[in-house]
A and B are shown apart, each in its own frame.
Chain A
Amino acid sequence: MIHKYIAALPEASLIIGLIVMALVNLFRKTNTPKTFYTLSKFFLAFSLLTTVLFYNRSWLPQFLENNPYTSLFKIIICIFTLTWAYLSCKWFLNKNYPSWSFYSLMLLEVLLLSLAVSSLNFVVLVIALQGAFLLNWCLIRLGDDEEKKKLGASRRFLCFALLFAALSAAGAVLLLARAGSLDYEAVYKHFSHVSKLMPVDYTAAAMMILPLLFMLGLVPFHFWYIDVIGVAVLPVGGFLTIVPLFAYVACLADIVLNAFFPVWPVFKPVLIVFGLLSVGFGVVGANSETNMRRLFGFSTLYHLGVIVLSLAAFDDNSILSGFVYMLVYVLAMSGIYTSFLGMRSKGVYLSELESVSGLSAVRPYIAAGFLVFLISLISTPPLLGFLGKLSVVNNLVIQGEYTVMLFILLAVLMLVYAYLNVIKALYFDARINTFDRVDKGVYICLTVNLILVLISILNPKYLMNDVEAMLVTIF
Chain B
Amino acid sequence: MIANLFFCLIASGFVAGAAARSRYERLWSFLLLAFLAFSGFYFWENWQQGITGNFAFHWIDASLMQVNINLASNTDTYRLTAPLFLLAGISVFYNTFYPAETEKLRLNGLLLLNLAALILLICAQNFMQLLTAVCIADVLCLFMINDIEGKRRYIFYNLLADMGLFTLFALIWKQTGSVDLAALSGYRRLGQYPELSVCLILFCAFIKSGMFLFQGGFLSLSGLSFNRIFSISYGATPLVGILLLIKTYPLLAGVSYASATLQLFGALTLLWGFFGAVVIDNLKDKALYFNLMFYALMIGLLSLGLKPIMQILPELLILGYMLNLLWMMVAVSASNEIFVSNMGSFARPLKAVFSLALLLILGLIQFLWKSAPLAEIWIYAFGAIILMACAHILYQIFLGKTNADEHVWAFLKNPPLLYLLPYAAAAAFVIWKNDCYDWMVGGIYALFLVVLFLGPLRSLGRLYEAETLQEADWFDDIYETLLVAPVKILGRILWLTIDFLIIERTIVSSLSGATTLLVRLLEKMHTGTWTGSLLYVSAGLMITAAVVYMKVRG
Q: Are A206 and B528 in contact (CB under 8 A)?
A: no
Number of B interface residues at 8 Å Cβ cutoff, please give it.
25
Contact with A along B507-536 (1 / 0, CB 8 A): 000000001001111110010101011001
- Asked whether any CB of chain A lies closer than 8 Å to the CB of B163, the reply is no
Q: Are B519 and A220 in contact (CB under 8 A)?
A: no
CB distance from A15 to the nearest CB of B (A): 34
Q: Are B551 and A265 in contact (CB under 8 A)?
A: yes
Across the interface, A270 reaches (CB within 8 A) one of B521, B526, B548, B552, namely B548
Q: Which residues of A contact B544 (CB under 8 A)?
A: 206, 210, 270
Q: Known contacts A202-B548, A265-B551, A288-B523; decide if A223 and B536 are in contact (CB<8 Å).
A: yes
Q: Which interface residue of A213, A227, A288 has the most chain B CB atoms within 10 A?
A: A288
Q: Which residues of B contact A281 (CB under 8 A)?
A: 522
Across the interface, A223 reaches (CB within 8 A) one of B515, B523, B532, B547, namely B532
Q: Are A273 and B518 in contact (CB under 8 A)?
A: no
Q: Which residues of A contact B533 (CB under 8 A)?
A: 156, 160, 223-224, 227
Across the interface, A210 reaches (CB within 8 A) one of B520, B530, B540, namely B540
Q: Are B519 and A284 in contact (CB under 8 A)?
A: yes
A389-446 residues at the B interface, CB under 8 angstroms: 414, 417
CB distance from A161 to the nearest CB of B (A): 11
Q: Which residues of B contact A267 (CB under 8 A)?
A: 548
Determine the distance from Cα of A367 to Cα of B540 in the docked complex, in whole angstroms: 38
Number of A interface residues at 8 Å Cβ cutoff, please give it.
35
- Asked whether any CB of chain B lies closer than 8 Å to the CB of A61, the reply is no
Q: Are A227 and B528 in contact (CB under 8 A)?
A: yes
A260-305 residues at the B interface, CB under 8 angstroms: 265-267, 269-270, 273-274, 281, 284-285, 287-288
CB distance from B384 to the nearest CB of A (A): 77
Q: Which residues of B contact A206 (CB under 8 A)?
A: 544-545, 548
Contact with B along A203-228 (1 / 0, CB 8 A): 00010001001100001111110110
Contact with A along B536-550 (1 / 0, CB 8 A): 110111011101101
Q: Are A266 and B526 in contact (CB under 8 A)?
A: no
Q: Are A220 and B537 in contact (CB under 8 A)?
A: yes
Q: Known contacts A266-B548, A266-B551; decide if A222 and B528 are in contact (CB<8 Å).
A: no
Q: Known contacts A210-B541, A270-B544; decide if A287 and B536 are in contact (CB<8 Å).
A: no
Q: Are B537 and A273 in contact (CB under 8 A)?
A: no
Tell me the dominant secondary structure on chain A's binding face: helix
Across the interface, B539 reaches (CB within 8 A) one of A220, A266, A285, namely A220
Q: Which residues of A contact B528 (CB under 8 A)?
A: 149, 152-153, 223, 226-227, 230
Q: How many A-B residue pairs have CB under 8 A?
A: 74
Determine the distance from Cα of A347 to Cα of B551 in the docked complex, in whole angstroms: 55
Q: Which residue of B lies closest to A205 (CB)?
A: B548
Q: Are A288 and B522 in contact (CB under 8 A)?
A: yes
Q: Are B536 and A222 in contact (CB under 8 A)?
A: yes
Determine the distance from Cα of A213 to Cα of B548 in the docked complex, in whole angstroms: 15
Q: Which residues of A contact B526 (CB under 8 A)?
A: 223, 226, 285
A228-278 residues at the B interface, CB under 8 angstroms: 230, 265-267, 269-270, 273-274
Q: Which residues of B contact A287 (CB under 8 A)?
A: 515, 518-519
Q: Which residues of A contact B540 (CB under 8 A)?
A: 210, 213-214, 220-221, 274
CB distance from A137 to the nearest CB of B (A): 15
Determine the distance from Cα of A322 to Cα of B519 in the docked complex, in whole angstroms: 28
CB distance from A221 to the nearest CB of B (A): 5
Q: Known contacts A160-B537, A210-B540, A224-B533; decide if A202 and B552 are in contact (CB<8 Å).
A: yes
Determine the distance from Cα of A202 to Cα of B528 in the docked complex, in whole angstroms: 31
Q: Which residues of A contact B515 (CB under 8 A)?
A: 284, 287, 414, 417
Determine the distance from Cα of A224 to Cα of B529 in the docked complex, in whole angstroms: 10
Determine the distance from Cα of A320 to Cα of B205 in the docked complex, in whole angstroms: 72
Q: Known contacts A281-B522, A288-B523; decide if A269 and B530 are in contact (CB<8 Å).
A: no
Interface residues, chain B, with chain A CB atoms under 8 Å away: 515, 518-523, 526, 528, 530, 532-533, 536-537, 539-541, 543-545, 547-548, 550-552
Query: Could you pull out 21 A-B pairs where Cβ atoms are within 8 angstroms?
Result: A153-B528, A160-B533, A163-B537, A202-B552, A206-B548, A214-B540, A224-B533, A226-B526, A227-B528, A227-B533, A266-B548, A266-B552, A269-B550, A270-B548, A273-B543, A273-B547, A274-B543, A281-B522, A284-B521, A285-B522, A288-B522
Interface residues, chain A, with chain B CB atoms under 8 Å away: 149, 152-153, 156, 160, 163, 199, 202, 206, 210, 213-214, 219-224, 226-227, 230, 265-267, 269-270, 273-274, 281, 284-285, 287-288, 414, 417
Instruction: Taking A230-B528, A287-B518 as given, write out 10 further A-B residue pairs in contact, using a Cβ cutoff of 8 Å, ordered by the A residue number.
Output: A160-B533, A202-B548, A202-B552, A210-B540, A220-B537, A220-B540, A221-B537, A223-B533, A265-B551, A288-B520
Ranked nearest first, the 9 interchain pairs of A and B with the lowest CB-CB distance are: A220-B536, A288-B519, A220-B540, A266-B551, A220-B539, A284-B518, A270-B547, A269-B547, A223-B533
